[in-house]
Structure 1
Amino acid sequence: MKKILLLLALATSLLGCKNEPEKEIPITHQIAKANGLEVFDRVKELQYTFNVKANDTLRTSRQWTWEPKTNMVTLTTPDSTITYDHKSEADRHEWVDQRFINDQYWLLFPFHLAWDDMEYEYSEKATAPISGNEMQMVTVKYPEGAGYTPGDMYEIYFGEDLMIREWIYLSGGSRENPFPASWENYEDFNGLKIAKTHKNKNGSFELFFTGINVVMEDRVTE
């Protein structure tokens, strides 16, 4: 009799596990996955040039090489080349590291939605700031004391395909000087979907990437 009761209890337990709904994937992680998060662990080297135009004048251009697996970062400018370990030498190269974080953030922001510690709030319908189109929106906020710009907030507008189309950057979480920008000109680089161009509403500001090259690790097959 004890054996029968034990089997019934086990069967009930298994049925309960089977019927339990799977934990929903956070919308932030869904966006990261749609942009190629699952292949990022195979990235050996990432090369790109960060450019900023203001009123059709090129104001900034920085060429980067980043090796995610070794944390090595190289900044190349017309005047110099600096290489450092982003994990262990960031304090010694703070000026460079701040710019690396900024430039890489614009390039790979969708992945930071899964990588970083942040709070988020999802809205099914919202009006995008530049196009005026109705989109989904997620608002994310970094905690105080996080990184170089603690408390920063972003309102992210995206479509059914989970691709970001526009955002509003709120420095330190303040709404006094919101900075809206587009996310456009997407291209697939070995599975990473990257928006190469960002503009403000009147086009007087343009942030764009050139020379993007994603080197993947070779798969070992048996």
Structure 2
Amino acid sequence: MLYEFEGHCLQEGNRHFIKIPFNVWEVCEIKGNIPVKVAIEEITFECKLIPKGHGEYYIPIAKKYYQQLPIMNHYACSFEILKQLSRINQHSPYNQPIRTIDTINLVLQPDEGLCGQACLAMLSGLPLEEIMTIMQAKKWQASLSKVIETLDYFRLKHADKMSYQKDKFSQLPNLCLLNVKADDDQLSHLLIYFNGKYYDPTSRIRASYDPERIISYLEIFSP
């Protein structure tokens, strides 16, 4: 079902939004995080509505879309509710793997919470900033499922699922993504294992790693 209305832009800091002028809970009969396909004038995009409480929601407008909007007091807006947002790999420009992984160059994360993006930069050979744009993921936003989805975007083949078999952690595949316990044991951390070395985006290339800290790994098949 398509929900149509007129809205105007709100600004909070450097971010822009459109407030939905009706109670979404009552009109759409849905609550929680709501994925939608939005149209504002001629601009269309997917996003999740931002809940403000009691059925009030905002449509977030990314900078690249806001810059395309004409300057107007009110905009013709509409949205339809999706089951889920489109996966990254549905828009992949790659028919073949992005590259043959015969070397890995260490990429250090410039700040905490970017280990997943840094690992993908090492695997793809692309700059970290470009990875963040492709994933639409800033600090702490690169979940393991989103990292795997981005591997699919780059057509980098991998095992169907993570391996949690501890007896295999001392003999890892030649190339894999490691999910490990972070130093404080409160969070997990991602790094790359390749050709007998551990590429840790927080610090350095390691010659060894404590297998007791490994939670799981995902084998990656380089063409």
Choose between structure 1 and 2 for higher RCO, CA contacts under 8 A separated by at least 6 residues: 1
| TM-score tier (shorter) | under 0.3
Provide the TM-score with structure 1 as the length reference.
0.22
Provide the TM-score with structure 2 as the length reference.
0.22
**Structure with greater proportional strand content:** 1
